[in-house]
Structure 1
Amino acid sequence: MDGVLMRFLFLLGSSRSGGNTELLARRAATSLPAGVEQRWLHLADHPLAPFRDIRHDEERYLKPTGNEALLLTETLAATDLVIASPLYWYSVSAATKLYLDHWSGWLRVPGVDFRQRMAGRRMWAVSALNDEDPATAEPLVTSLRRSADYLGMRWGGALLGHANRPGDVLRDAAALRAADAFFAATPLGSGAHDGRVAEPASC
């Protein structure tokens, strides 16, 4: 996407504002170049309806409205998508998972061309966890990376911090150092990732 204005969409998946994951994401964002546009959305402020899987029914997915339309529009407008979700039960938060579930519907809304338009954009992950072993977050990172792979998106990387109580991540010196270098580690507009996987089946 060389020559295209970079637009980072930060999707905050915590159930509360100002949590450790958000603090870590905002720290990382301070290192973005001045010309990069930032858009921050808290998923709790834009709740989505439960996702209905009607792929095999006679119904068709309709053009989204309300909060779903907002999130779709903002997602498509971003060159870089930053999923900032705390680690809940070894995966993303419920609000984040619901947002990803709606991708399945967006793939099938006539005229949206979600897969084609997301291909080549980049996904990043930010998460705070209360376990000092970063391997605990592997299911979250794998889920997001494979979701990016499925749409042909590039993978920017995962930024992890340790926290037990509100504000703890600001005392994690290693996480703060990583945050300061996070977006600089991969030059903006580079780092193609071509992996693709089959779409997950619904239960």
Structure 2
Amino acid sequence: MTRKFLFLLGSSRTDGNTEALARLAAEQLPAGAEQRWLHLADLPLPDFEDARHEDDGAYPAPTGHGATLLDATLEATDLVIASPLYWYTVSTSTKRYLDHWSGWMRVPGVDFRARMAGRTLWGVTALADADRAAADPLVGTLDTIAGYLKMERGGVLLGNGSRPGDVLNDEAAVRDAKRFFATVT
């Protein structure tokens, strides 16, 4: 089976440290692995509105950017959430994307939850704090999501950097990036 990686870039800027780290890791993917890169800033979603308890609890099929992101998500075998660490968790655009999963689980005929089972969820983040434990809440968020949807946990790649390009000076992060996808065949 061909692996299809969807890299969801959640930074408010392009070419930031998280993206640089994700791209370095992606260079190590096997030649046959497909890659699709989407900047969530280019595909803005509205705030998620919880309508589970209205009418029958069903959500309409998404349109526009929501439909693009849903389709890309369901086409991927591997989802890579590449979000900088903002206040100890994922960025706003990343959180909004993940919030929309709640609605996608309730769109008739999509079977989102069942279709996500078995896929692999990965994370990549750059943080300004030298103490990598500051990313524990972000790691916990991704692990909990993966568990809830019965997804495989691919792991989270961490790097330290504040100014653009700093993460490439983090020797441990560069080393880890070069072997992050080592289990992918």
TM-score bucket (shorter structure): over 0.9
**CA distance in 1: counterparts of 2:58 and 2:156, whole angstroms:** 35
Residue identity opposite 1:188 in structure 2? V
**CA distance in 2: counterparts of 1:188 and 1:177, whole angstroms:** 17
Residue 46 of structure 1, aligned match among 18, 43, 46: 43
- Name the residue aligned to 2:141: 143
Q: For 1:152-201, what per-residue CA distance to the aligned partner results, in whole angstroms no more than 9, with x for missing partners?
A: 000000100001211100111110000000000xx237xxxxxxxxxxxx
Say which SS state the counterpart of residue 178 (structure 2) adopts: helix
Question: 1:49 offset after TM fit, Å?
Answer: 1.0
Residue 113 of structure 1, aligned match among 111, 114, 117: 111
Question: 1:60 offset after TM fit, Å?
Answer: 3.1
**CA distance in 1: counterparts of 2:58 and 2:77, whole angstroms:** 28
Contact kept in structure 1, 2:29 and 2:184, CA below 8 Å: no
**CA distance in 2: counterparts of 1:111 and 1:148, whole angstroms:** 22
Structural RMSD (CA): 0.9
- Name the residue aligned to 1:24: 21
- Provide the TM-score with structure 2 as the length reference: 0.98
**CA distance in 1: counterparts of 2:130 and 2:22, whole angstroms:** 18
**CA distance in 1: counterparts of 2:3 and 2:85, whole angstroms:** 27
Q: For 1:29-62, what per-residue CA distance to the aligned partner results, in whole angstroms no more than 9, with x for missing partners?
A: 0000000000000000000011100001116310
Residue 188 (1) aligns with residue 173 (2): no
Residue identity opposite 1:94 in structure 2? T
Residue 179 (1) aligns with residue 172 (2): no
**CA distance in 2: counterparts of 1:164 and 1:62, whole angstroms:** 40
**CA distance in 2: counterparts of 1:99 and 1:65, whole angstroms:** 14
Residue identity opposite 2:137 in structure 1? P
Question: 1:118 offset after TM fit, Å?
Answer: 0.6
Residue identity opposite 2:9 in structure 1? L
**CA distance in 1: counterparts of 2:126 and 2:166, whole angstroms:** 10
Say which SS state the counterpart of residue 109 (structure 2) adopts: coil
Q: For 1:81-104, what per-residue CA distance to the aligned partner results, in whole angstroms no more than 9, with x for missing partners?
A: 000000000000000000000000
Paired residue total: 184
Map 1:130-169 onto structure 2 (within 5 A): 130-169=128-167
**CA distance in 2: counterparts of 1:123 and 1:153, whole angstroms:** 7
Contact kept in structure 1, 2:30 and 2:184, CA below 8 Å: no
Residue identity opposite 1:64 in structure 2? P
Say which SS state the counterpart of residue 5 (structure 2) adopts: strand
Q: Unpaired runs of 5+ in structure 1?
A: 190-203
Say which SS state the counterpart of residue 182 (structure 1) adopts: coil
